Amino acid sequence: MRMTSKLFAAGLILVTALAGCTTGGSQFVGDYKARRDLGYQVPAIPIGQVPAKYRRQVVNLDTREKPGTIIVDTGEKHLYFVMPGGKAMRYGIGVGREGFEWKGTARIAIKREWPVWTPPAEMIRRQPELAKWRSGQPPGPRNALGARALYLFNKGGDSGYRLHGTPEWHSIGKAMSSGCIRLLNQDIIDLFDRTSVGAKVIVR
């Protein structure tokens, strides 16, 4: 699932935050409070401890990709949901640690609310303590996939990668996952509601 530099250049030319505008991150600070969601409790995020650049905010985005596309910049630890009018919703993300990075294009094939997480066999071999979830970790605030998961497929089928929530808010802006892209639970809920099955996802 490799993506050429030419392809990404066509997808993302320039990203510039809207400095000092009401569309900045402060607009969404209230969204990180505790909430009930489909019968589960979503804990509050101590958003003051999350760097401002990783809080959800509207930014300018110069791209040829159509609205509804998701662009993931693993270097900057940002995910962009393309909107009309040269704008995008930007979210802070956590990415794969060294040896687990990935790049390419995919599409969202499945959307799930409060998904079950089943660690793959190779992960259980690396981390035997996960064997207890061999048949699946039940949904809930402590689940590794968080409140929502978007399943990424490519031409070969299920890529094994996900865009998902996480209860580990302190991991946003860092490289410490096993390859999947993680967002704050409040942010993945927001992205889940915006995106559609079939949406294009570009990861650089």
Q: pLDDT by residue (tens digit) across 36-60?
A: 999 999 999 999 999 999 999 999 9
Instruction: Calculate the alpha carbon distances from 146 to 28, 93, 108, 164, 165 in Å.
Output: 20, 13, 17, 6, 4
* Cα 61–Cα 67–Cα 69 angle in degrees, nearest 5: 85
Residue 1: pLDDT band by 50, 70, 90 thresholds? very low
Taking residues 140-152, what's their average pLDDT?
95
Query: Looking at the predicted structure, is the pLDDT value of residue 99 above 90?
Result: no
Q: Which of 123, 121, 201 is nearest to 159 (CA)?
A: 201
Range of the domain at 56: 5-203
The whole-angstrom separation of Cα 85 and Cα 81 is: 13
Any alpha helices (H) in 29-92, and if so which ranges?
A: none
Instruction: Specify the 3-state DSSP secondary structure of 143.
Output: coil
Please provide the average confidence, as pLDDT, over all residues in the chain. Answer: 87
Active site residue 180: yes
Residue 120: pLDDT band by 50, 70, 90 thresholds? confident
Taking residues 66-81, what's their average pLDDT?
97
CATH code of the domain in which 35 resides: 2.40.440.10
Query: Looking at the predicted structure, is the pLDDT value of residue 80 above 90?
Result: yes
Catalytic residue among 21, 78, 170, 180: 180
The total domain count for the chain is: 1
pTM of the model: 0.85
Residue 5's pLDDT is 43
Active site residue 21: no
